[in-house]
Amino acid sequence: MTDIQIALIQALQVHASWLEAPMLFFSFLGDAEFYLLVIAILYWCWDTRLGLRLALLMGITGGLNQALKVAFHLPRPYWVSPEVRALGSNPSFGLPSAHAQGSAALWGLIAADARSRWIWAFTSGMIVLIGISRVFLGVHFPTDVLAGWALGAAVLLGFLVLEEPVGRRIAALPLSGQVLAAFAGSLALAVASFAALATLGDWEVPASWAAGALERSGEAIHPLDLLDAVTASGLFFGFAAGAAADRQPGSMCATGKGSVRLFRYAFGIAVTGAIWYGLGFFAPQDAVPAAYLFQYLRAAVAGAWVSFGAPAFFARYGPGA
């Protein structure tokens, strides 16, 4: 199977090289940074409830994806085959594809919420193209993408089934209980990855994988690093706790003129970037436990700004306040 998949990737890269730019674009549409842009514009400017649902769903699917990557600990194509061009790169394990899993969850929820055949057609196309882009770029085997799609659909289905009963129970709790529930959920996401890592024992990344990845992409890999898992966990807590603290969710959202919404988005994203990159300057470089704790808090602050800080600021100081 591996040889067949490598031959397929090589054929795509050789015979359809003109697709490189479009595939890089569609790959970006599956990046976590793009998902944050989508969630923010929905939360602040269009549909607060849908924005929150997407934020929680992406935190869940992101955390599970990182745990499964470590559990399977399988390589990416360009790590193991000199025949594959590294048109993209990624330091984590390959199976399942986070882009495929995340796109199936995010675009699937948008389609389920819209209930429009045209939206379904558009989102289905996005999911397929994002997955294909990862194969074309040499960063995933086709099986990685297929597994990602299947897992993303499964996570989405579970979310749709459980969100109403679980949401009712959490909404009935006092604020302290809701924040505690958000924290417990975020810890569960992080613990899944640490438990998967513990099962590997003294297993180490083959030197040939690291050398192949560095040779073909120019970037080192560190697939046993769990910073991405901690980031997903922290964002989940920040979003959920911030939304719980907002006693009038959505009071300033999905209203106002287009210029008002544009201001919200531009200002809100600018502050989000300042929080993320500003705090990044203080990130510990050596001590792993401290780095993980700092990354969790950094992500939680960014998430809480989106779901609580920005709405509170806009309601009090924004145009039309």
pLDDT tens-digit readout, 122-147: 999 999 999 999 999 999 999 999 99
Q: How confident is the model at residue 259 (pLDDT cuts 50, 70, 90)?
A: confident
**Which whole number is the average pLDDT over 27-39?**
91
pLDDT tens-digit readout, 249-258: 554 555 667 7
Do residues 51 and 106 touch, judged by C-beta distance below 8 A? no
Q: Three-class SS string for 223-279?
A: CCCCHHHHHHHHHHHHHHHHHHHCCCCCCCCCCCCHHHHHHHHHHHHHHHHHHHHHH
pLDDT tens-digit readout, 146-204: 999 999 999 999 999 999 999 999 989 999 999 999 999 999 999 999 999 999 999 99
Residue at token pair 């640490």:
194
Q: Per-domain residue ranges for the chain? A: 19-317
Q: How confident is the model at residue 291 (pLDDT cuts 50, 70, 90)?
A: confident
The pLDDT, as a whole number, for residue 220 is 92
pLDDT tens-digit readout, 51-80: 999 999 999 999 999 999 999 999 999 999
